[in-house]
Amino acid sequence: MKLSKKIKKSLKKILGSGKETPKKELKPEVKKTEDKPKEPKKSKKELAREERARKKEERAAHIREGYINRVVELTGWDRENAIAQMDKAKENCGVSYEYYAAWHFYNIDEEHQKEYFTKGHADTLKERFNTDPNTTKIIMNKVAFSKMFDKFLGRAWADNHNVTEEEFKEKFGESCKIIYKPQKSSGGKGIQVFKFDDDSIHDVYETVTKLPEGIIEQFVVQHPEMCKLSVNSVNTIRVVTIRTNKDIPGIEKDKVYIVYCAMRMGTGKNYTDNLHSGGMVAAVDLETGKLLTSGVDFRYNICERHPDTGVEIKGFQIPQFDKIKEMITEAASLTYGYYGWDVAVTVDGPIIIECNTHPGAGILQSPYVHLGKGMKYVADPFLVGTKWETK
């Protein structure tokens, strides 16, 4: 039977041509590797912050090496042994490398070391009581602090980046002398003093408002008695307080405790009384306001009389001391934490200069190092329940 062309064509489509179609060569399957997500490009601020952190670490390492070398020099130990002894003392009583060298801890036995008030103790107090980050931010910000504690400042002040020339003249025109403090500084660094009259006040305004962010304050004229300790600097009393709202054995909630006081004195032509700026420190009797020790400077030189004024330091009476304690008790009751308040005394009464969120160890212990007297007992009631509790 003959098939029609139409049927043949249909069968071809169904059955194919009969020729083998070449097989496609199978290529090995290649698994695609997932592209790693690109790290976001860092901003200039982030890069600058990392660079500052790197430099800070380098400086810290350099300073630490200096303390190690100092101990090696003083003791004759090799470097490895010096580090081992310094680390052992740190574990024993919390002493830093700095104070190990400065306080000659290599000459003090382990039990006596435990009687000293050290950086480890101060750090523990900070961690235990400074638990509100918002309060810490306020105290560390000079403008925010001045707003919150304006009642206790006793002087005109302004944000140098937020004051008009008219406001500047109104606030400071009569004082003829101001002090500028940069926001990002401590230890008296970056402070500048400006004097002016009616003719130069505009130039001073132009200068100070172009400086880095900070605060401008009316220059404090201290009480004549305080000038006996130093004429150029405003000599301040560091008053350290603790107040807590937590349940801690032996500590009353909401009560302001004045833990200790120290007198800071400037020397030479310095406008500040900070130890790191060439100042001195002496211990203060909490009951009477009299100085209990001679002055001690950053290098632990002992001064029985002030090198500039000749006044005898031990026994000096701080004026208006009861008013100082009253004012600080009131100010500290506005917040919770472990803080160091710096107070100046004027003829009109005491005023707060600033507050520190980490008062440190040196200002309590340093005046007693040459006497071989440890001062940890002062802080013992607030260290109960910590690794530094006296057993």
Q: What is the pLDDT along the chain (391 residues), one digit of tens a residue?
A: 555 555 555 545 555 555 555 555 555 565 555 666 667 788 888 888 888 889 888 999 999 999 999 999 999 999 999 999 999 999 999 999 999 999 999 999 999 999 999 999 999 999 999 999 999 999 999 999 999 999 999 999 999 999 999 999 999 988 889 999 998 776 667 889 899 888 899 999 999 999 999 999 999 999 999 999 988 888 999 999 999 999 999 999 999 999 999 999 988 766 566 666 668 999 999 999 999 999 998 888 899 998 888 999 999 999 999 999 999 999 999 999 999 999 999 999 999 999 999 998 999 999 999 999 999 999 999 999 999 998 8
Contacts of 271-275 spanning 24+ positions with Cβ under 8 A: 271/179, 271/188, 271/191, 271/193, 271/232, 271/233, 271/234, 272/188, 272/191, 272/233, 273/188, 273/230, 273/233, 273/234, 273/235, 273/236, 274/187, 274/188, 275/362, 275/363, 275/366
Which residue from 322, 313, 273 is spatially nearest to 293, judged by alpha carbons? 313
pTM of the model: 0.84
User: How is residue 94 written in tokens?
Assistant: 């919390």
For residues 283 and 293, give the distance between their C-alpha atoms in angstroms, rounded to a whole number: 6
What are residue 235's DSSP bridge partners?
none
For residues 43 and 76, give the distance between their C-alpha atoms in angstroms, rounded to a whole number: 49
Four-point Cα dihedral 304, 310, 316, 317, nearest 10: -170
Token pair 């329940």: residue: 385
Q: Which amino acid is at 181?
A: K
Radius of gyration of the chain (CA): 34
Q: How many residues are present in the chain?
A: 391
